[in-house]
Amino acid sequence: MDEQITRREAIDKLATLINPAIPSDDQENEEQSRLEDPTTKHPQPPFNKQFQPFPGLAGKMDPVPDHGEESYVGSGRLNGRKALVTGGDSGIGRAAAIAFAREGADVAINYLPDEESDAIEVIDLIKKAGRNAIAIPGDIRDEAFCQKLVSEAVNQLGGLDILVNNAGHQKTNESILDISTEDFDRTMKTNIYAPFWITKAALPHLKPGSSIIGLSSVQAYDPSADLYDYAQTKAATTSYVKSLAKQLGPKGIRVNGVAPGPVWTALEVSGGQTQENLVKFGEDTPLGRPGQPAELASIFVQFADNDGSFATGQIYGSAGGSGQP
């Protein structure tokens, strides 16, 4: 026996048949169920105090960051592409590497030897996506290694057309008087010299359609008092992105940058924040929490994708409502 339906349900069904663009109640309910409240989507402060020796491991953080391991679903946007991501073992670099692989790209990641346990997880995730995964540990503060890094990535990937200069060093210091020349040098070498060396080495291999992506920060626009040296490097990154985009645009190579706000990564628990700031990390954003690396992954994909072909010299902010780019 057919189930009885109300007059309203009958009208809705008829309207849907006449004009499929009009959603039924079931469709509306399904769409509503897909909505996610960004204020409660991920962990909120207060967080537990926690410290790790530099460079820190994502797997030992509480809570463990979300890099998209379970959530990122690709759709073939980067099929056949070949990417090199520095700092690809954890944080934003890890999220980009996972997303690239699930979009069809082969990926090489660079990281410090102390980060091997995190890197092994990323390599495994790239392989599970059916892509070629290359691990190249080493310290990018050394120019010779930067040249070797690019050479190995090109040889093992069979080319290169996406370069992500993501690796960075950040250490909080209350006063400029607390920053030694050695500390200052480490920040500058990691955040400014290394992208310079790596980009120079990579450029001869990049063909029209290739993409270079740098990692800037809200620190470039609204620097914190305790990140004197780090903020300088992010301002420099913003400028090199815009300058290099003008230089390489005629060659068909796009250069863009991503400027995160507070994002929950190993950088923060290994000296990037004081323990007091770590407990309330991200609470001053309009969303009331820090971002998770997974929430930035799609930005890197868009900058690498051919669909973003008119975007160059751009800085894409993702700061929970408090960024300026």
Cα–Cα distances (Å) from 258 to 92, 94, 98, 325, in that order, read 10, 14, 17, 9
Query: Do you find a cis peptide bond into 63, omega within 30 degrees of 0?
Result: yes
Which position among 72, 111, 228, 230 bears the catalytic label?
A: 230
Distance CA 254, CA 211 (A): 5
For residue 214, which phi and psi values (nearest 5 degrees)? -105, 160
Amino acid at 43: P
Known active-site residue 193: no
User: Sign of dihedral through CA atoms 154, 157, 158, 163?
Assistant: negative
CB of 219 within 8 A of CB of 174?
no
Sign of CA dihedral 242, 243, 246, 247: negative
Q: Which residue has the tokens 């495994």?
A: 124
Residue indicated by tokens 């800085």 = 315
CA separation for the pair 325, 323 (Å, rounded): 6
- How far lies 313's CA from each of 31, 34, 203, 269, 303, in Å? 35, 33, 17, 31, 11
Q: Are 82 and 158 in contact (CB under 8 A)?
A: yes
Do 27 and 19 form a contact (C-beta atoms < 8 A)? no
Helices (H), 203-310: 228-248, 266-267, 275-279, 297-304
Are 163 and 212 in contact, with CB atoms under 8 Å apart?
Answer: yes
The residues annotated with a catalytic role in the active site are: 230
